[in-house]
Each structure stands twice: as C-alpha cells, then as structure tokens.
Structure 1
C-alpha cells in the first residue's frame, strides 16, 4: 500500500477501528498507524489475525491494543471502551467499520442489530472518552446510502436497509456531536473488490460483481477504499457530512 496520510500527522492521537482484524478495517487501521496514531484493533473472532496485525503495526513505533468484542453485546462493547480508557485515556478517531448481515444462521433481525443498534451503542459508549476535536467515521456502501432512491439486488436489500437505518440514527446525533466539538462523516463506496460482502453476494448472485464493475467502469479494491476511509478521519468534513467514493452516476440522488 502506498502512503495515504502524512507520516507523523497523527502522532499522539489514538484511533479505534471496529472490525479491523481483516479487510477494509485492517487496511484503515494500518494507514492510521503509518501516520503515527496509536491504534485499537477490534475483532469478533479472529484473534490470531488481529494479534499478527498488531505486531506489524508496533514495528512502526506506535502502540497497538487488540480488543475482542461482539458489537451486538453492550456489555462486551463497554468492556472494550473501558480497556481503551485504561490504556490510552481517550480517543481521537472512531471508525465505525464493522458491519454484516449476510451471514448464515443468524437471527432474522441480526442485520438491524449490527448495522443500526450496535453502531449507535458503540458511539454512545465511546462518547465519554472522545476528546474535543475527535472525529467519528461511519463506513457504508452506495447500495445502502442510496437505497431509498435506487433499488439494489434482493440478496443485499436487508443489509442495505439496515445500514441506511444505522446511518440515519447516527446522523440524528450530529448536532450533539457538533456541540461537543466532535466531527462526524459518512464514507460511502460502491461494491469493493475482495470483501466478504462481495464474495457472499457473488455466491448468492453469480455475476453480480462483474456486472457492477462494468456498469461503474471500475470498482475500488480494499486498500484503495480503506485509504478513503482513513482520509475521511482527518480531512475537512463535507457540508453534508458525506464523503462519496467513486462513481455515483448509477444512483439517484434524494
């Protein structure tokens, strides 16, 4: 991966990226660490992978805390926040990256639990340790962000609706965050090559990814999109609190 943020620009800062043992979350936390931030790597069930990433990032001269937490379990989330507070005292960047809903064997309302309720709970649990000047980033997809005006494939619709519900619930807190001096930005991207979601969609709907790639012209890969998420944590916040990544010509605006 190429350097995305200015080296040393986040020295002395602390960042938590949820779901950061792999994929977009792992690359995002790596970019933040490369810029000098101490980082919290959160995972649900990939401890060895999270520890391996932490070892890599510590070689950069930053601190890396590995914390397992099920984001749908408020007690687990609070324990994570308490550990961050004990280790670092406060947080400067909170990236709400972890999401899902296409996993098999989950409860019917699991997508809503994870993509709406858990996102709000993580933010509210973290508020006491978010410093003035901190930044909260919510990671989503165009298929979810534009779901009210542009239909998506049936296999993804429950996830898209739940992620949009999560975005809406977080946006309702923008004025409170502003009053605390905390910035909020949504980073939305098209389907991302190489993600678990893309793999599951392709399995459920063969040809879905290649069709979308042809329609969009190109799709971002994991490291490219993670770079945009990392930039969303530090660059000026757009007027509508939304950073749209890649082509959106296929999506009708609200």
Structure 2
C-alpha cells in the first residue's frame, strides 16, 4: 500500500467502532497518525488503536464529546501534540436517535458540533489539508425525498450540518483547504441501520431492494479512504456511494 499520508496527522470523529474505526485503519495503513475519537467507550477505541499499532501504524485514542465546548479543541491538540500537525479531518461522528440525549441533540451533534470542530481545525490546518464530511443519501436528499419518520430528525440535522459546512467554502478557499462530502446509503451492520430496522421493521430489506445492494462498513470505509488525498477533487465535491439512482430519479 502507498504511504502517501506519511507524516500527516488525522482526526476521525466517532472512530471507536463501525465506519470510523474501519476508516481509521485504512488511513493509518497509508502512513498517517490517527486520532481515534470516542465519546464514552474507551476500551473500544483502545482496541482500534491496538489494531493499528500491531499493523505498524500510529494512532492514539482520545475521549471527547463533540457537543461540549472543549471537545473539538481536545482532538485538534491531540493531533498536533502526537503527530505534529492536523492535515486531515474526517467528520464521521453522527447520531440523534439516542433516546436519552434530549430532543435537540441531533442538531447539536450533526450541525453545531461539526461546525465547531471545523472552526477549531482551521486554526491549525495547513494549506493542502482536507476535510471530509460523511453523510447519508437519506440526509443529503432530504429536501427532495422523504425518509422514514424515525430518521427524519437525524436526516434534517445532518443536511443542516452539510449546508453549514458548504457555507464555509470561502474560508476553505482562502486557506487552501478542500471540503469533500461522501454520501452513502444505509450501511449494513451500523448502529443507525439497526435502530431504524427496530423502529420500522423491514426498513433495511426495503432499502436493499431499492438500492440493489447495501454497502458493508468495510466497503463504505474503503470508499471514504479512496477520496482522501485524491488528486483533482473539486472544492465541495459530493461523492455518492452506491444506491443513489432512485434518489436522483426523484429530483
């Protein structure tokens, strides 16, 4: 594997499991030092770090709740202190279906926390850096295509987060930083898919039929990683990963 990210520092939010963890492993394998972020489950994050280190990579587990004021700065500082710089920020943390976090939690995490994280990162990111925002087709196309009731607050808040980051493009241009948006369908085996299927039995199967196939966590992580450091990406490019045809046909 090419070591094109050697000497780079990366922060991947929400990377103690699932898509974030799989992406962290792929980015570390290319030479980047990775800050593996978790909110509450330190053992899971430590396991991801151990796997990266055993494969010859560099990583550190850092606990930070992005909805808290100090969360973003904690992650930025960890990248600079451990790896010398922050050159890659992958905004993977997402949520809003948790019953115990309050009704404004989705917007707080999926929009406000994303913007705060980016603002903190911009203070140290050098020209040539990249910010990757991970979203879903259900969120990306929410203004044109309705989604399941259980997911609607999450979808609308994630779209609000994407819009807020797109509004920051002039700042990114000024600093020579590229924003890339990666939108995927429902992903097999993720906590969101599990919760949706519980709220609306048959939801996963219906989506699988409409899309033709649903990506696994590892397959989607590989798509995200393939856009990191990819030459010729336009500013604010949106990559639609799998199953978007039926969304596009409803535009």
Scaled by the length of structure 1, what TM-score is found?
A: 0.94
Name 1:244's counterpart in structure 2.
240
Long gaps (5+) in structure 2: none
Q: Does 1:53 align with 2:48?
A: yes
Cα offsets for 1:142-163 (capped at 9, x unmatched): 0000000011111111100000
8 Å contact 2:181–2:236 — kept in the other structure?
no
8 Å contact 1:17–1:97 — kept in the other structure?
yes
Cα offsets for 1:41-60 (capped at 9, x unmatched): 00001101111111111123
Secondary structure at 1:155 match in 2:
helix
RMSD over aligned Cα atoms: 1.4
Name 1:3's counterpart in structure 2.
none
Matches within 5 A, 1:87-98: 87-98=82-93
Secondary structure at 1:108 match in 2:
coil
8 Å contact 1:184–1:237 — kept in the other structure?
no
Change (3 A) 1:195 1:81: same
Cα offsets for 1:159-214 (capped at 9, x unmatched): 00000000000000112111101110000001000000000000000000001101
Q: Does 1:18 align with 2:13?
A: yes
Name 1:114's counterpart in structure 2.
109
Runs of 4+ in 1 over 6 A off after TM superposition: none
Long gaps (5+) in structure 1: 1-5
Q: Does 1:169 align with 2:189?
A: no
Measured after TM superposition, the shift of residue 239 of structure 1 is 6.2
Name 1:128's counterpart in structure 2.
123
Q: Residue 153 of structure 1 is aligned with which of 148, 161, 169? A: 148
| Number of equivalent positions | 249
Name 1:222's counterpart in structure 2.
217
